[in-house]
Chains A and B, each alone.
Chain A
């Protein structure tokens, strides 16, 4: 369906003719299915580029008036960035791309949706500041990762999840009302997300975000950390062989391997108790091989050696970042003791070298999209969080459902391709399982759905908090009871804020 002419004119009057289009060739530029989707998402009926918050309000009010669905996006890397149904107006927030404020004293940055991770982090570094960059790639929106989606990062051990970093929020609700949350609501500035009484931060973001289902966040303040590195990234080399090594006086990478997952868990917990390390992870091994290579062919050459399968089946990645050589020496000494006590040993030097020479991996996940290199047919599952010990219990149960997919040749044989990263020195943890499949297989479109369904069934069977409740009605109802009936709360909140169910409702 196309947008009725009079509605188009109303929207055009808000942003001007340059910033709206319903031309098919403009829509074609955004409605393509990602390679992991067997079907094309519904095409938006128009794309509109608001330039300020007032315009967003006007657009949403027009959508409400004409019962048009809407969704706000910046980049469209993930499925949730696509319309869930027909007659959807897509707001692309790229023109709202200002860094509104960087407050060095109170350590927060106020940003609009169009600001990207690469931009914000490198701007902050000039001021000796940083933040946990979500592991989505430097071209993705900071605001979306912090306020709307889950947004996990490689820095969660020494920092936290994005939901903990949100301060003031400016939010246009699904009916077009302007909400200011936290200290901002009292005209007290951006420094805090919670005012007196119950906090709306949880309504908007909670643990996993609303994924476009609760209006449009137009500005947020995020908390900042100190940056222990130089004012700009000392990257050397040319595409695609960049190297980025931070000073060994204050930065060190060490990767260890362990005989069992329990030992990895124990080491992770001990490192957290010692409160050392910026980044600590049990990282994916196939993903690591993809990040370390520069083409699919190179990946296959490496993978066939078996090195990453052997060395990185049960690894612990540790990135130490210190203010001084003395502090680094202390952290190294503590780490050495923990690794010795828990039975770890360093992985092969060739692997250590990769990470020593590419510290951007820990800082801004510079080459994340290499994960997609094997044709793009890739998906993450699990994605939830709980305690470290619980995450490892989930990991140990993965073979119960994954093995059959591997044995049947449906997915790439990488049973250890999962991540567990702790939060806040071990006060919680996050898990992701990445699986890849071959688009040359007949009926490949069923593979990701079947795999994820089996993963959920396993979690339910074991009572695991492994899978983030999916943004579908059926998925929410299946998993909700295992998460304090979160689906019922989510449905009620949705009804209260979006009575016409226009803000990209769940499919």
Chain B
């Protein structure tokens, strides 16, 4: 296989974020929904770790303060410190809220902090290290046999070799929630779109490795997947997984030149509905609320490398293109849901770029399952407050978090992936299928 040379395109070391570390005024905006978007006492907090642990150290502000002390040699590693650093779900709510008012890179600093810990041999957590081993040996996050990656694929799938569009399934849909992959294929087939899958050449996207500070391991995934995509002359990747989507958009451009377009299945469905290539005819009588996954919403804007200088009074030379969550994929899933006959869509207070995390991101679900469950339960409480009976999202990691919390809390609300509802609306009678 020919390797695509991967070069460093983006700042990623702790010292690259000194401006952010030294600019923080402790205003607290990384912990709270911005004032004009606040709707009352409840559901005003935005940072899951701060809500749970309360100490300032557990927040975007605290983590960048810790990063600075580590960088300056003012803080030594000690027991419990990795638990703190790896309890952050990397949801980026701090980052987006900070960037409403400041020119700082809070989440990138936290990413650099994790990478720094890995380089120092302190991170990641053992489970995350195991992920890396699994990915190296089995090309998936779960240590399952690579040859079983496409076992889910239905016989009737109309996969077309040579298509310029590929469906990138992702580890979690392939091995843990195969119904998402099956429904996605059902939808793609119904639309008549020519698409292919990468088959054995699809490896883990690398997202969970990137977000746990294992940048080098994640880069290897980038290198492999981009080569596989190039070998097949694919120009568009479709994902049904928010983690894969956000990684392609947010990480790949940091380490490689991205020449492939990445779209989410919700965008495909919306476009196919507009073009009349899909028709949702079967009523689905449900009151639902939509949860914006972090990596499909606020963190999904394409990363644009910037290596300029910050001059006097914060002037960025050359001007920097900020990722502030403005242009995440928010509308497409909502438009798709609203196109399903019989379905009623309600909105949570913390939505779109202010969505509260499901609790499972950043490797937290695997290391701190209790905390992940608590965070998911808080989100479910918000979902229930809208009157919804179903919480819908578009991320298999969110699905795991919510289903765990629903089951642990014996809640009546149910979780559905967006593709499930669309597949139901495609059938003759709206019944569950797949």
A binding-site residues for B, Cβ under 8 Å = 19, 21, 23-32, 34-36, 47, 49, 75-77, 81, 92, 94-95, 99, 115-120, 122-123, 126, 137-140, 232-233, 235, 238-242, 244, 295-297, 300, 360, 364-370, 372-376, 412, 436, 438-440
Q: Please state if A369 and B101 are interface contacts (CB–CB under 8 Å).
A: yes
Nearest CB on B from A374, distance (A): 4
Inter-subunit contact B65/A28 (CB<8 Å): yes
Q: Which residue of B lies closest to A303 (CB)?
A: B313
- Residues of B57-72 whose CB lies within 8 A of A: 57-59, 61-63, 65-66, 68-69
Across-interface contacts of B33 in A (CB, < 8 A)? 118
Cβ contact within 8 Å between A374 and B75: no
| 8 contacts across the A-B interface (CB closer than 8 A) | A28-B69, A140-B28, A239-B298, A242-B37, A297-B316, A300-B315, A374-B314, A439-B22
Q: Which residue of B lies closest to A370 (CB)?
A: B101
B-side contacts of A123, CB under 8 Å: 40-41
B138 contacts chain A at the CB level, 8 A cutoff: no
Closest residue to B46 on the A side, CB-wise?
A139
* CB–CB A75/B100 < 8 A: no
What residue of chain A has the Cβ atom nearest to residue B318's Cβ? A297
**Given A23-B78, A24-B78, A366-B34, does the pair A30, B56 have CB atoms closer than 8 Å?**
yes
Q: A138-B38, A296-B313, A373-B101 are in contact. Are A239 and B57 (CB under 8 A)?
A: no
Cβ distance A24 to chain B, nearest Cβ, rounded Å? 6
A-B pairs with lowest CB-CB distance, top 4: A29-B57, A138-B35, A29-B62, A296-B314
Smallest beta-carbon distance A62→chain B, Å: 20
Provide the bound-state CA to CA distance between A187 and B325, in Å: 51
Q: Let me know if B27 and A369 touch, CB within 8 A.
A: yes
**Digit string of B15-55 for contact with A (CB within 8 Å is 1, else 0)?**
00001001111111101111111111100100000000011
Which one of B19, B27, B69, B78 has the highest number of Cβ atoms from chain A below 10 Å of its Cβ? B27
Interface centre among B29, B37, B66 (most CB of A within 10 A): B37
CB neighbors of A among B280-338 (8 A) = 298, 311-316, 319-320, 322, 324-326, 330
Inter-subunit contact B101/A295 (CB<8 Å): no
**With A25-B80, A240-B324, A364-B36 in contact, is A95–B27 under 8 Å at CB?**
no
A122 to B32, CA, bound (A): 14
Knowing A239-B353, A373-B101, the reply to whether A29 touches B66 (Cβ < 8 A) is yes
**Is A92 touching B56 in the complex (CB atoms < 8 A)?**
yes
- Chain A residues, Cβ within 8 Å of B56: 29-30, 47, 76, 92
Query: In the assembled complex, which residues on chain B have CB atoms less than 8 Å from the CB atom of A370?
Result: 101-102
With both beta carbons as reference points, the residue of chain A lying nearest to B80 in the complex is identified as A23
Chain A residues within an 8 Å CB radius of B330: 238
From B57, B61, B74, B314, give the contact of A373 (CB < 8 A).
B314
Question: B352 at interface (Cβ–Cβ under 8 A)?
Answer: yes
Contact indicator A119/B101 (Cβ below 8 Å): no
Chain A residues in 8 Å Cβ range of B96: 239
Distance in angstroms between the alpha carbons of A93 and B123 in the assembled complex: 32
Contact between A239 and B324, CB atoms less than 8 A apart:
yes
Q: Is B378 an interface residue (CB 8 A)?
A: no
**Do the beta carbons of B78 and A118 come within 8 Å of each other?**
no
Are A30 and B37 touching (Cβ within 8 A)? no
CB distance from A330 to the nearest CB of B (A): 29
In the complex, chain A residues whose CB is within 8 Å of the CB of B102: 369-370, 372-373
Neighbouring A residues of B76 by C-beta, 8 Å? 24
Task: Using A116-B28, A119-B40 as known contacts, list a sample of 14 further A-B pairs with CB atoms less than 8 Å apart, ordered by residue number in A.
Answer: A29-B62, A118-B38, A123-B41, A233-B38, A239-B96, A239-B324, A296-B314, A300-B313, A369-B27, A370-B102, A372-B27, A373-B103, A376-B22, A376-B25
Q: Are A138 and B34 in contact (CB under 8 A)?
A: yes
Flag whether B4 is at the interface (Cβ < 8 A).
no
How distant is B38 from chain A, measured CB to nearest CB, in Å? Answer: 4
A-contact 0/1 string along B334-345, CB 8 Å cutoff: 000000000000
CB-based A-B contact count at 8 angstroms: 211
B313 — which chain A residues lie within 8 A by C-beta? Answer: 296, 300, 374-375, 412, 436, 438
Q: Once the chains bind, are B36 and A233 in contact (CB under 8 Å)?
A: yes
B314: which A residues are within 8 A, CB to CB? 296, 373-375
Chain B: which residue is nearest A32 at the CB level? B65
Query: Across the interface, do B36 and A360 meet the contact criterion of CB distance under 8 Å?
Result: yes
What is the CB-to-nearest-CB distance from B90 to chain A, in angstroms, rounded to a whole number? 17
Closest chain B residue to A138, Cβ basis: B35
Residues in B whose Cβ lies below 8 Å from that of A118: 32-35, 38, 44
What are the residues of chain A within 8 A of B74 when measuring CB–CB? 28
A28 and B57 contacting across the interface, CB-CB below 8 Å? yes
| A47 vs B55: C-alpha distance when bound (angstroms) | 8
Which B-chain residue is minimally distant from A378 (CB atoms)?
Answer: B25
Q: Residue on B with the closest CB to A232?
A: B39
In B380-405, which residues have CB < 8 Å from any A CB?
none
**A116 contacts B32, C-beta separation under 8 Å:** yes
Greatest chain B CB density within 10 A among A25, A137, A241, A412 is at A25
Task: Determine whether B81 belongs to the interface, using a CB cutoff of 8 Å to chain A.
Answer: yes
CB distance from B280 to the nearest CB of A (A): 27
State which of A75, A364, A412 has its C-beta within 8 Å of the C-beta of B28. A75
**Given A118-B38, A137-B29, A137-B35, are A25 and B54 also a contact pair (CB < 8 Å)?**
no
Q: Which residues of A contact B65 (CB under 8 A)?
A: 28-32
Contact B29 A139 (CB under 8 A): yes
Complex interface: chain B residues within 8 A of A28 (CB) = 57, 62, 65-66, 69, 74-75
Contact of B25 among A31, A34, A239, A295 (CB under 8 A): A34
Residues from chain A with a CB closer than 8 A to the CB of B57 are 25-30
Partner of A240, one of B23, B312, B326: B326
**The one of B35, B55, B80 that contacts A92, using a Cβ cutoff of 8 Å:** B55
Chain A residue numbers with a CB within 8 Å of B28 are 75, 77, 116, 137, 139-140
Task: List, in ascending order, chain A residues with CB within 8 A of B19's CB.
Answer: 375
What are the residues of chain B within 8 A of A239 when measuring CB–CB?
Answer: 34, 96-97, 99-100, 298, 324-326, 353-354
Taken together as a complex, chains A and B put the C-alpha atoms of A81 and B24 apart, in Å, by 15
- Asked if B157 lies at the interface with its beta carbon under 8 angstroms from chain A, I say no
Give the docked Cα–Cα distance between A19 and B54 (Å): 8
For residue B99, which residues in chain A have a CB less than 8 angstroms away from its CB? 239-240
State whether the Cβ of B84 lies closer than 8 Å to any Cβ in chain A.
yes
Enumerate B74-102 residues with CB–CB distance to A below 8 Å: 74-76, 78, 80-81, 84, 96-97, 99-102
Instruction: Give every chain B residue within 8 A of A369 (Cβ-Cβ).
Output: 25, 27, 29, 101-102
- A503–B201 Cα gap in the complex (Å)? 65
Chain B residues near A117 (CB-CB < 8 A): 35
Interface core residue of A139, A300, A365, A369 (most chain B CB under 10 Å) = A139
Q: In this complex, what residue of B is CB-closest to A47?
A: B55
Q: Known: A21-B55, A369-B102. Contact between A32 and B97, CB under 8 A? A: no
B394 vs chain A, min Cβ distance (A):
18
Identity of the chain A residue whose Cβ is nearest the Cβ of B327 in the assembled complex:
A238
Nearest opposing residue in chain A for B22, CB measure: A35
Q: Which residue of A lies closest to B58 (CB)?
A: A29
The listed residue (A119, A238, A376) touching B23 by CB distance below 8 A is A376
Bound CA–CA A366/B313 (angstroms)? 22
Separation of A374 and B103 alpha carbons in the complex (Å):
8
Q: Judge whether B41 and A119 touch: CB under 8 Å.
A: yes
Chain A's closest residue to B312 (CB) is A438
Chain A residues near B101 (CB-CB < 8 A): 240, 367-370, 372-373
Once the chains are docked, how many angstroms separate the CA of A49 from the CA of B354?
27
Q: Which residues of B contact A99 (CB under 8 A)?
A: 41
Bound state CA distance, A21 and B38, in angstroms?
A: 31
CA distance A235 to B36 in the complex (A): 6
Distance in angstroms between the alpha carbons of A64 and B140 in the assembled complex: 58
Nearest chain B residue, comparing its CB with the CB of A31: B65
Bound Cα distance A48, B129 (Å): 34
Chain B residue with the shortest CB-CB distance to A137: B27
Cα distance, A34 to B102, chains bound together (Å): 14
Taking CB as reference atom, which chain A residue is nearest B38?
A118
Q: List the B side residues contacting A140 at CB < 8 Å.
A: 27-28
Chain B residues positioned under 8 Å from A137 (CB to CB) = 27-29, 35
Given contacts A19-B54, A296-B103, contact A238 B326 (CB under 8 A): yes
Question: Contacts A25-B75, A30-B65, A76-B56 hold; do A238 and B325 have CB atoms under 8 A apart?
Answer: yes
